[in-house]
Each structure stands twice: as structure tokens, then as C-alpha cells.
Amino acid sequence: MTLTIKRPDDWHLHLRDGEMLAGVLPETARDFGRAIVMPNLVPPVVTSADAAAYRARIMAALPEGADFQPLMTLYLTEATNAGDVAAAHASGLVTAVKLYPAGATTNSDSGVRDFDNVQGVLEKMAEIGLPLCVHGEVTDPSVDIFDREAVFIDRVLDPLRRRIPDLKVVMEHITTADGVGYVLSQDNVGATITTHHLIINRNDLLVGGIHPHYYCLPIAKREEHRRALVEAATGGDTRFFLGTDSAPHTDPNKESACGCAGVFSATNTMACLAHVFEEANALERLEGFASLHGPAFYGLEPSAAMLTLTRHADPVTYPAKIETGAGPVTVFDPGFPLHWTTS
């Protein structure tokens, strides 16, 4: 069996920098034509000059002959300059701005604590049509980690949407039925769904021991929420699209007393997605989720290139790890045999 679709894009990707960037970038560029690149480096990508320099480093790290376009983002801080954001957007340098509540995830300490301090930037973004990508979790220590997405919607996102209804918002890596329901209730709101959140639930993380390579933020939730995500991804609604949140960390940094949050899935994402969509009897909707809905939301044309997925009778072996100059990185294990390859 073969399935040919327009070449997919990844609307939420971590590439890191330096030797890690050089090691993981070929894994994305193999299947994906474009990707929204996250700005949470150390120090973060805050200004247009930062974004231009980071883009140059990404392009320099591309394998020879690779056809890949990084779509740059700016890290929203309380000191972000609205004029710089508008100029970066007008020049075509940046495609979105990323909101991290301070302390929500990896390298998010420079994020927003007081949303009143970014009101002017957000209003300018609404005026010029620049999307805001949101890491949707509160960081209040009194809120249970499994509830932080739902609480963020009530406390932060919905009030923000009411204040600036014209602001285009992407709810990144939604993990709950609450997130799905909120997207379906709104105009100007889309959502990315990751490969791993379509496949694992919190039992996979915690039952039989702690499995550090399934630890991510937002954390995997109950099975009922995973099923809601699968229904949203495979249902054909254009407001939902692929953002892998593929996030490499070296194995020592994952397998430690305080392991880093992140799942690296760039290597086998399309094979995993083909399995999920096949199980849902929705293979004909995979192209929409992976290749069409994201460009439409961002106002871009879909790729002119094509990608062919081939289903094999026998399971296909993907590497358990990739080696980078920064150290080994474990590839996401979906927990079931994979039968699909791409070309």
C-alpha cells in the first residue's frame, strides 16, 4: 500500500543549537519542508537580530541538497518591542511569536509573568495579523500538573481572547479534551497536536516504573484525553494540525534524577502518524492534518513537493537513538511495530 501526500510541515519544532542542531536537523529535513522553530534557546531568540542569526545557523547546518525552510519565531518577553516585532514580520523574517508563561517548560525562565506588560505587543500583532503561539499551562504551584492546561484556558487564554479577539492564536501541543473543546468554540484559534500525545497517556509514563523518554511538558494526560486528541486530529477539522514538539535532549539529561522534559520524534513521526490514522480508518485525512491545515491557518500555500508513504507487511526498524556531537538522543518509541516508510 502506498499513500502520496503533499510534503508535510511541522508547526512546532525544537532544533536547539550548535552540535545538537547539526545532529537533529537532518531528521526533520528528511520528511518535512518547513517547520516553525521554537525560540527557547539560552539566551532566547528575542529580537529580529537574534532570529536572523539563528536562521543563518540553521541554514548552515542543513545537509547538502536538503530542501527545508525554517519559519522563525520570536520569544515574547515583557521587554519585547512592538516595533521590532512588526518590522520582523513585515520583512518576512518571522512567522509567529511564542508565549511561554515563565517557568512553564525548558528554557522558559524569560517568559511572561504579568500579561498586562505585553498587551501592547499583542495588540500590534492582532493589527498586523501575526499569530501568537501559546504554551498553554499555568505555572501556579498550587495547580496540579495534570490540570494546568485547563486552568490556563480559564485564567489566561479566554480573558486574553476577550480583550484582543482579533489576535490569531495557536494553542500549542494541546493535551486535553478541554483544549479540543476550546478550539472548537472559537474563531481565530487553531491548535497543534504532537505525535506522542496521540499515542501515549500518563500510564505509559508511570506504570511499571518511570519512563523518562515519555516525560514531556505539557505532561501526557488520561486515556480519555488522548482519545479526544485522536478524534480531533483524524476528524478533518482544519483548526487542528501537526506540531511534533520534537524536542531533543541527550540521554544523560533525560535519564537523571531531574530529567529534562521533551520527546524526540522527528525520525519516525510520519510512520507513527500513518499508524494512528490507519487505526482510525482515516488515512485519507492524514494529508490534511500533516500538510494542509497548518499552511491554511498561517496564510501560506501548501508544499508543491510530494511525500510517499509505503506500508510494508513486515515491521520496519527505526533507530533507537541518533548520535549527535552533543551526545546520544533517544528516538520516540510508540510501543507498537511500525510498518510505514517515507520517500
Q: pLDDT tens-digit profile of 92-124?
A: 999 999 998 876 666 566 778 888 899 999 999
Question: By percentage, how much of the chain surpasses pLDDT 70?
Answer: 98
**Mean predicted lDDT score pLDDT of the chain:** 96
Mean pLDDT over residues 18-25, rounded?
98
Length of the chain: 343
Which pLDDT score is estimated for 109? 66
Domain enclosing residue 220, as ranges:
2-342
- 154 Cβ partners below 8 Å, 6+ apart? none
DSSP category for residue 220:
P
265-293 tens-digit pLDDT: 999 999 999 999 999 999 999 999 999 99
The domain tally of the chain equals 1
Residue 251: which pLDDT band, with cuts at 50, 70 and 90? very high
Average pLDDT over every residue of 184-209: 97
What 3-state DSSP class applies to 8?
coil
Indicate whether 33 pLDDT > 60: yes
Which residue type does 323 have? E
pLDDT tens-digit map of 157-184: 999 999 999 999 999 999 999 999 999 9
What does DSSP assign to residue 101?
A: B
Task: Indicate which CATH number applies to the domain containing 243.
Answer: 3.20.20.140
- What is the Cα–Cα distance from 329 to 319, expressed in whole angstroms? 10
Task: Please report how the helices 269-279 and 223-234 are oriented relative to each other, as an axis angle in degrees rounded to 10.
Answer: 90
Whole-prediction pTM: 0.96
Given this model, what pLDDT does residue 334 score?
98
Grid cell of 180 as nine digits: 479540543
Tell me which residues are annotated as active site: 245
56-104 tens-digit pLDDT: 999 999 999 999 999 999 999 999 999 999 999 999 999 999 998 876 6
The C-alpha angle with vertex 242 and arms to 240 and 247, in degrees rounded to 5, equals 135
